[in-house]
C-alpha cells in the first residue's frame, strides 16, 4: 500500500507541474489545455454514456486480446521451449515477425478483416504474444537440471515433471511476460482504433476530439484515461504477481 | 545379508570417437543390504557420473547395474537420491511438507497417508512443525534435512547421496552425518554415499571404496571396523579412526590414484615410493598429513619436477593435481 501511495505522489506531482506550466505560460494553452480543465472534462466525460461505451469497448478488446495472446503464447512457448528442434527451426521466422510493429499491419488487416473489433483484437494479439512467447521459451531454457533430476529421482516421469516442476518453475517468468504484454496490448488496441478509425473505442474518441475543431481537452482527457488504465492494470498485475510468486522473489534475493 | 546393489563392468563415456571422455571405466562392486558404503575419490574423478548411472538418471554406455537383482533402466521406484545442492533440488513453490510428499504423488498412496508419512519422516529427521514453511525460509542444514526426508519418505531400498554435506558448515555437517547414521540404523536402509572428504567417508561408513582419478576405477575396498555407535569427538580421536583415515589418505595419494588407474592392488605404499618422482606425487609423507596436501613443502619442491620455484607449501603438488583433474 505504501508503494502505491508513493506511486500516486509522483502522478499527482506530474499533474501539478503540468497545471503550473500551462498557467505560467510555459506551455501555450491553445496547445495543451491546463490539467484542471482536462480534469473537469474528464469528470464530465465519465458521466457521458458515449464516452463510457468507448472506454468499455477498448477495455473489452484489450481483455480479449490479452486472453488470446496468453492462450496462444504459453502453449506455443511450452512447445518450442521443450522441443529444441522446433525452437531452432522457428527462430528465424520469429525474429523476422517480431520487430514488425502492429500498426504497420493495419492496412493489411483492414483489407482482410476490416476495421471492426476483430481487427484491433487481431493486431493487439499479434503485438502482445511476443513477450509471453519469449518468456515462456526462456523459462524452460533456464530450468535448473538439478530440479528436473530431483523430480525424476522422486519417480516422476517426463510428463509429470513437465506439469509439476517445469511449469510451476516457469510460472513467474511467464507472468512477467503477461505483464509486459498487457501494456503492449493496450497500446496496440488504442493505436489501431485511432489509425484504422474504428467505429467505437477510446482511440476513436481521441481521434474525433482532435478533428472536431480541436477539442484538445477531450483529446487530453482520453489520453489521461488511457494512461490511468495502463497504470491500474500494471499495478494490479505487479501486486498479484508478488502475492502469487513470493517464492521466486525470495529465491532471487537469496541468489544475490 | 543379501546383495542390494550389484554394479558390474560399469563404463560411461561422454561423446564419441577421438573426443570421447571416459568418466567411469569398468567398475565392479556390490553393496550388501543394510550397509552404508562410502565412495571416496579425488575431485572430478567421475563420482557423480557413477551415481547418476546407478540411479538410472543417465543410461551407462557399458556394463550393468542391478538393484536387488533387477536390471536398472530408468530410475527404479524404490531408489532415492539426495543431491549436494539442496537449494537447487527442493521445489521452492512447494511447502516443506509438499516437498516431502512429492515422491508419493506418483504412487498409490491416499492423501491422508501422504500427509501422515511426510509428518513422520520430517519428525525422524528432527524437523517436526516446519511442514507449513517454505524451504527457502529454512537454514541450509534444515533444507538438507528436508531433502533427506523427501528421499526417505518412499522407504527406498537404496538411498544414494551425492556429496550431501558439501554445502553446509562444519557444525551442521557433523549433525547431518550423525542423522544419516541414525536413520540408516533405524530404518535399516542401504546407503551409498559419494564424497571427496576422507574424514567423512571413514566416520560414516561401514565400508569405504576408494576411486582413482578419471576414468574412475576402484583402487581399494576397505572395511571400516569402527564401533557402530560413533561420536563426532571421541570417534575422530580414536587410534583406529586416525589410522583408517591415514590409510584412505595414503591410497588417495598413491600413484595408482593420481594416474589413471588400471591397477587394482591395494598395496599402495610399496609401489608408490618407486614411482613418486615421475608421478609428481609425494608418496611417503602424505599419509601423515591425512587431510592430504599439508606439510609437504620441501618434498614437493624436490620430488616433483617443477618448472619454477615452489613458493608456498605444496604448491607444486596442488597445481599438479588440478592440472590432471581438468585434463
The tens digit of pLDDT for each residue in B27-59 reads: 899 999 989 999 998 877 788 888 899 999 988
User: CB-based contact (8 Å) between B87 and chain A?
Assistant: yes
Please indicate, yes or no, if residue A5 is contained in any of the structural domains: no
- pLDDT (tens digit, 9 = 90+) per residue, B146-172? 999 999 998 898 999 999 998 888 888
Q: Which fold has domain B3-243?
A: Rossmann fold (3.40.50)
* B10 burial level (CB within 10 Å; 0-12, 13-18, 19+): buried
Residue A198 C-alpha cell reads as 474504428
Domain ranges, residue A72:
61-196+222-255
Other C-beta atoms closer than 10 Å to the C-beta of A214 total 11
d(C-alpha B198, C-alpha A253), whole Å: 34
Domain containing residue A182: CATH number: 1.10.3720.10
Please indicate, yes or no, if residue A22 is contained in any of the structural domains: no
Q: Across the interface, do B106 and A153 touch by the CB < 8 Å criterion?
A: no
Residue of B nearest to A169 (CA): B93
pLDDT at B315 over 80: no
CA-based nearest distance B201→chain A, Å = 23
pLDDT at B313 over 50: no
d(C-alpha A68, C-alpha A90), whole Å: 21
All residues of chain A having their beta carbon less than 8 Å from the beta carbon of residue B92 are 247-248, 250-251
Surface of B (88-127) touching A: CB under 8 A: 88-93, 102-103, 105-107
Nearest by CB to residue A168, choosing from B93, B103, B137, is: B93
Residue-level pLDDT at B326: 39
CA-based nearest distance B154→chain A, Å = 9
pLDDT at B203 over 60: yes
Residue-level pLDDT at B272: 39
Number of domains comprising chain A: 1
Residue-level pLDDT at B293: 37
pLDDT band for position B257 (cuts 50, 70, 90):
low
Please indicate, yes or no, if residue A4 is contained in any of the structural domains: no
Residue-level pLDDT at B277: 38
Average pLDDT over chain B, rounded to an integer: 78
d(C-alpha B35, C-alpha B200), whole Å: 16
Mean pLDDT of B191-215: 89
Domain spans, chain B: 3-243, 257-326
Residues 6 or more apart whose CB falls under 8 angstroms from that of A33 comprise: A22, A41, A216, A217, A220
Q: Across the interface, do B136 and A250 touch by the CB < 8 Å criterion?
A: yes
d(C-alpha A173, C-alpha A171), whole Å: 5
Please indicate, yes or no, if residue A73 is contained in any of the structural domains: yes
Least confident of B64-78, B93-107, B258-272: B258-272
Q: Across the interface, do A155 and B90 touch by the CB < 8 Å criterion?
A: no
Q: What are the residue ranges in chain A where pLDDT is below 70?
A: 1-3, 213, 250-256
Instruction: List phi, psi (to 5°) of B68.
Output: 30, 50
Please state, in angstroms and as integers, the Cα–Cα distance from residue A52 to each residue in A58, A215, A225, B8, following that order.
10, 18, 11, 77
Q: Most A CBs within 10 Å: which of B73, B74, B89, B133, as the mutation test of the A interface? A: B89
pTM of the model: 0.74
Q: Across the interface, do A165 and B91 touch by the CB < 8 Å criterion?
A: yes
pLDDT at B82 over 90: yes
Amino acid at each position: 500500500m505504501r508503494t502505491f501511495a508513493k506511486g500516486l505522489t509522483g502522478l499527482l506531482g506530474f499533474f501539478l507541474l503540468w497545471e503550473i506550466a500551462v498557467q505560467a505560460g510555459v506551455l501555450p494553452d491553445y496547445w495543451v489545455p491546463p490539467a484542471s480543465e482536462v480534469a473537469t472534462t474528464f469528470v464530465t466525460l465519465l458521466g457521458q454514456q458515449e464516452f463510457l461505451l468507448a472506454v468499455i469497448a477498448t477495455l473489452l478488446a484489450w481483455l480479449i486480446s490479452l486472453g488470446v495472446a496468453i492462450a496462444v503464447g504459453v502453449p506455443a512457448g511450452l512447445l518450442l521451449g521443450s522441443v529444441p528442434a522446433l525452437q531452432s527451426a522457428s527462430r528465424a521466422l520469429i525474429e523476422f515477425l517480431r520487430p514488425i510493429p502492429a500498426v504497420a499491419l493495419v492496412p493489411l488487416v483492414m483489407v482482410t478483416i476490416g476495421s471492426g473489433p476483430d481487427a484491433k483484437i487481431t493486431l493487439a494479439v499479434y503485438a502482445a504474444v511476443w513477450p509471453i512467447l519469449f518468456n515462456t521459451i526462456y523459462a524452460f531454457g533456464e530450468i535448473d537440471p538439478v530440479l528436473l533430476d530431483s523430480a525424476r529421482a522422486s519417480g516422476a516421469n517426463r510428463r509429470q515433471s513437465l506439469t509439476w516442476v517445469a511449469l510451476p518453475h516457469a510460472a513467474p517468468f511467464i507472468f512477467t511476460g503477461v505483464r509486459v504484454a498487457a501494456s503492449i496490448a493496450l497500446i496496440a488496441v488504442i493505436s489501431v482504433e485511432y489509425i484504422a478509425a474504428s467505429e467505437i473505442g477510446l482511440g476513436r474518441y481521441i481521434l474525433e476530439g482532435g478533428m472536431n475543431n480541436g477539442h484538445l481537452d477531450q483529446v487530453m482527457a482520453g489520453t489521461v484515461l488511457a494512461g490511468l488504465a495502463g497504470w491500474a492494470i500494471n499495478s494490479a498485475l505487479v501486486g498479484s504477481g508478488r502475492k502469487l510468486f513470493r517464492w521466486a522473489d525470495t529465491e532471487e534475493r537469496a541468489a544475490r | 545379508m543379501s546383495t542390494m546393489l550389484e554394479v558390474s563392468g560399469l563404463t560411461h563415456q561422454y561423446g564419441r570417437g577421438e573426443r570421447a571422455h571416459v568418466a567411469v571405466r569398468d567398475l565392479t562392486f556390490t553393496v550388501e543390504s543394510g550397509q552404508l558404503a562410502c565412495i571416496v575419490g579425488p575431485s572430478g574423478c567421475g563420482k557423480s557420473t557413477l551415481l547418476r548411472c546407478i540411479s538410472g538418471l543417465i543410461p551407462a554406455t557399458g556394463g550393468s547395474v542391478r538393484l536387488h537383482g533387477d536390471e536398472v533402466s530408468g530410475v527404479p521406484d524404490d531408489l532415492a537420491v539426495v543431491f549436494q545442492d539442496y537449494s537447487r533440488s527442493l521445489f521452492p513453490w512447494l511447502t516443506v511438507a509438499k516437498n516431502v510428499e512429492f515422491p508419493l504423488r506418483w504412487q498409490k498412496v491416499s492423501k491422508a497417508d501422504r500427509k501422515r508419512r511426510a509428518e513422520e519422516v520430517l519428525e525422524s529427521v528432527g524437523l517436526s512443525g516446519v511442514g507449513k514453511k517454505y524451504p527457502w525460509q529454512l537454514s541450509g542444514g534444515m533444507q538438507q534435512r528436508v531433502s533427506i526426508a523427501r528421499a526417505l519418505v518412499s522407504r527406498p531400498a537404496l538411498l544414494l547421496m551425492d556429496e550431501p554435506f558439501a554445502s553446509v558448515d562444519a557444525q551442521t555437517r557433523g549433525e547431518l552425518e550423525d542423522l544419516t547414521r541414525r536413520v540408516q540404523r533405524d530404518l535399516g536402509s542401504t546407503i551409498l554415499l559419494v564424497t571427496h572428504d576422507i574424514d567423512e567417508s571413514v566416520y560414516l561408513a561401514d565400508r569405504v571404496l576408494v576411486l582413482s582419478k578419471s576414468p574412475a576405477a576402484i583402487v581399494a575396498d576397505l572395511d571400516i571396523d569402527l564401533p557402530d555407535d560413533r561420536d563426532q569427538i571421541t570417534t575422530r580421536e580414536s587410534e583406529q579412526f586416525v589410522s583408517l583415515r591415514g590409510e584412505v589418505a595414503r591410497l588417495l595419494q598413491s600413484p595408482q590414484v593420481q594416474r589413471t588407474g588400471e591397477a587394482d592392488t591395494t598395496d599402495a605404499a610399496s609401489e608408490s615410493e618407486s614411482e613418486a618422482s615421475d608421478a609428481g606425487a609425494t608418496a611417503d609423507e602424505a599419509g601423515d598429513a591425512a587431510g592430504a596436501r599439508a606439510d609437504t613443502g620441501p618434498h614437493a619442491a624436490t620430488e616433483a619436477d617443477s618448472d619454477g620455484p615452489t613458493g608456498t607449501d605444496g604448491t607444486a603438488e596442488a597445481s599438479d593435481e588440478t592440472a590432471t583433474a581438468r585434463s
